[in-house]
């Protein structure tokens, strides 16, 4: 019976961590310690929980476990050198730093803790830690005397001031024969801590309605007007709001993306349909986020049959679509209303005008002149604007940015409510 209970517990454990870790990008740093053998198990558990794992090893780590083992377990080449032309051509160190949702260093040796506490960039792993905006966690592993040394404890305190979280150590017998604190935490405990770090209660039970993707405005049965929005930004926001425990409705134009778990998905095609669905939910919406690239105009008339190619010129008469977010912003009582402004020039000025004209509580200014950010890219750089304040978010993955924006929204929303 006991083994049956253990089996059920372990199934429940994986179901829980699967939800938190599916598609999360985990960069696992491995340093020189005998506990490096446990990193293999941690990688296996992370992969089993649905995470995408990339491994960075210090040279010392390769004395304890081979890069080949870690490559086979993670399914990706292992990164070791800071200045490796081949690796930089694939995924360079800055890209890796931006890619990660979390950096976990397990095992973290006394040496890397000392380097990190002083903000040094002596190899690939330490450089990544300086270059990332992702949360960093450490699972130290060392001899008990080294762990308890005042210099070590001082370094750990310094790290926490820099926002680097030390997960602590286990007590027990050590490889060197000593008994005491300093053993690396077991992989399942580290896995659980990483999974929990993706979850907050900052929007607990709050109904968040998000519009995403493009709208398509039909010309005839086979043609339409649309734009390049992929939906990635809006879907990432939906996922981040779920992590913050919100009840999320995602009203989405046509995209090729998977619907995030636990999100109520309402597919729409045109701006008019999007408005219809937004209005239906307005009375229960507490936070509204308009990420969708709604077509500003639609064809005045719809041809029931395919328009034939006859003349050299075809004139299409367009009529303005309703401005969905302005209708939300003008509603009484209105939800906390967050807009996006896709601009190619005078970005802050135009976004600020939209903030006022559309009666928003927050606007996210998005420079869409740079193809590496904005429409259809995996990364984004934005400036959040509200009242007389601004906050800039440097280039990062849309998933990371979404989490930061949801944190900002959850901080702003009660005060503005």
Is the preceding peptide bond at 107 cis, omega within 30 degrees of 0?
A: yes
Listed ranges 163-171, 191-199, 201-209, 371-379: which one lies at the site for ligand PMT (CB under 6 A): 371-379
- Which one, 123 or 217, has the nearer CB to ligand PMT? 217
| Residue 119 beta carbon to ligand PMT: minimum distance, rounded to whole angstroms | 33
Instruction: Please list, residue by residue across 374-395, b when 16 or more beta carbons sit within 10 angstroms of its beta carbon and e when fewer do.
Output: bbebebbbbbbbbeeeeeebeb
Q: Looking at residues 293 to 352 of the shown chain, list those that interact with ligand PMT (rule: CB under 6 A).
A: 293-294, 296, 321, 323-325, 339-342
Closer CB to ligand PMT, residue 66 or residue 326?
Answer: 326
Is-catalytic flag, 176? yes
Among positions 148, 376, 414, 416, the unique one binding ligand PMT when judged by CB under 6 A: 376
Instruction: Give the binding-site size for ligand PMT (rule: CB under 6 A).
Output: 29
> Counting contacts by CB under 6 A, is residue 355 touching ligand PMT?
no
Q: Which is nearer to ligand PMT, 123 or 323 (CB)?
A: 323
Q: How far is the CB of 386 from ligand PMT (least distance, A)?
A: 14
Find the shortest distance in angstroms from Cβ 227 to ligand PMT. Answer: 8
33 vs 366, beta carbon nearer ligand PMT: 366
Please state the closest distance from residue 350 (CB atom) to ligand PMT, in A: 8
**By rule CB under 6 A, what string of x and - marks binding of each residue 218-257 to ligand PMT?**
-----------xxxxxx-----------------------
Supply the minimum distance, in Å, between the C-beta of residue 382 and ligand PMT.
7
Which residue's CB is nearer to ligand PMT, number 63 or number 376?
376
The distance of closest approach from Cβ of residue 51 to ligand PMT in the complex, given in angstroms and rounded to an integer, is: 22
78 is a contact residue toward ligand PMT (CB under 6 A): no
Positions touching ligand PMT (CB under 6 A) are 211, 213, 229-234, 271, 290-294, 296, 321, 323-325, 339-342, 354, 366, 368, 374-376
Q: Which residues are catalytic?
A: 176
């Amino acid at each position: 019976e006991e083994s049956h209970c253990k089996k059920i517990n372990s199934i429940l454990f994986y179901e829980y961590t699967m939800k938190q870790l599916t598609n999360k990008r985990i960069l696992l740093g491995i340093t020189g310690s005998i506990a490096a053998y446990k990193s293999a198990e941690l990688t296996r558990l992370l992969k089993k929980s649905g995470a995408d794992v990339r491994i960075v090893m210090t040279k010392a780590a390769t004395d304890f476990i081979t890069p080949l083992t870690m490559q086979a377990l993670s399914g990706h080449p292992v990164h070791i050198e800071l200045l490796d032309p081949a690796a930089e051509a694939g995924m360079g160190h800055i890209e890796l730093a931006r890619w990660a949702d979390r950096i976990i260093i397990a095992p973290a040796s006394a040496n890397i803790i000392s380097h990190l506490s002083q903000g040094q960039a002596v190899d690939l792993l330490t450089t990544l830690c300086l270059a990332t905006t992702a949360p960093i966690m450490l699972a130290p592993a060392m001899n008990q005397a080294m762990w308890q040394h005042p210099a070590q404890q001082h370094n750990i305190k310094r790290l926490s001031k820099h926002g680097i979280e030390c997960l602590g150590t286990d007590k027990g017998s050590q490889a060197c024969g000593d008994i005491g604190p300093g053993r690396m935490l077991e992989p399942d405990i580290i896995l659980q801590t990483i999974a929990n770090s993706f979850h907050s209660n900052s929007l607990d039970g709050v109904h968040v309605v998000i519009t995403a993707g493009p709208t398509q405005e039909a010309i005839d049965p086979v043609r339409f007007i649309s734009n390049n929005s992929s939906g990635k930004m809006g879907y990432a926001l939906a996922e981040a709001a779920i992590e913050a425990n919100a009840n999320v409705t995602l009203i989405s134009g046509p995209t090729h993306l998977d619907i995030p778990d636990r999100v109520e998905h309402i597919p729409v095609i045109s701006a008019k349909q999007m408005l219809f669905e937004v209005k239906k939910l307005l009375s229960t919406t507490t936070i509204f986020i308009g990420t969708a690239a709604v077509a500003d105009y639609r064809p005045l008339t719809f041809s029931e049959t395919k328009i034939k190619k006859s003349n050299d010129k075809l004139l299409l008469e367009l009529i303005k679509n309703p401005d969905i977010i302005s209708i939300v912003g003008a509603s009484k009582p209105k939800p906390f209303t967050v807009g996006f402004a896709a601009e190619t020039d005078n970005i802050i000025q135009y976004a600020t005008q939209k903030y006022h004209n559309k009666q928003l509580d927050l606007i996210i200014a998005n420079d869409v002149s740079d193809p590496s950010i904005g429409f259809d890219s995996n990364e984004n750089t934005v400036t959040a604007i509200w009242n007389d304040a601004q906050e800039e978010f440097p280039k990062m993955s849309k998933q990371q940015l979404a989490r930061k924006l949801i944190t900002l929204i959850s901080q702003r929303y009660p005060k503005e409510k």
